[in-house]
Amino acid sequence: MDRYITQSKYFTPNFNTAIFSDPIRIYFSNQHESQALEIYFLMQKRKNEWEKFLRSRGKGNYCYLMLYPEQSQFAQCFENGDSNFSPGEMGEDFVIGINGPLDATRMQALMDDIDGQIGYQNPE
């Protein structure tokens, strides 16, 4: 299995920037840097849970968060292209496509969905 996200169906040439914070990798367009950083900081609160979740799937797995700048690109990469976000897989790696940018309500819905998938309980 080819493990390069840049050679997968999930990658688009519009992704010209990435944040790597193992095991989480966020790909996005420069114009969505502030949204990507917001997602990054929210994901950092869940980093331990992500590591446990991914390690339960196999050794050395990643979570790729793909912040698509346009709905049409999101729809090309995910079968459920009419939603705000959609999960996918690339081998043993986990992919989350985000039909961005997200407003506060959609961002909370994304985090709630992620929390449910990885078993995160917000201590606040």
Interval 3-43: pLDDT, tens: 689 989 999 999 999 999 878 899 999 999 999 999 998 88
Q: Omega before 23 cis (within 30°)?
A: yes
Residue 1's pLDDT is what? 41
Phi, psi of 17 (to 5 degrees): -145, 150
pTM of the model: 0.84
Phi, psi of 37 (to 5 degrees): -65, -40
Percentage helix, strand, coil, to 5, in the chain?
40, 25, 35
Show me where the domains of the chain are located.
13-118
Provide the pLDDT confidence category of residue 82 given band limits of 50, 70 and 90: low
Structure tokens at 37: 């950083």
Could you tell me which residues come within 8 angstroms of residue 67 by beta carbon, excluding any fewer than 6 positions away? 26, 27, 28, 29, 32, 35, 36, 39, 98, 100, 101
Matching residue, tokens 């797995």: 61
Instruction: Kindly state which CATH superfamily the domain 13-118 is placed in.
Output: Collagenase ColT, N-terminal domain (3.40.30.160)
Amino acid (one-letter) located at 95: V
Residue 28's pLDDT is what? 96
Q: Is the pLDDT of residue 119 over 80?
A: no
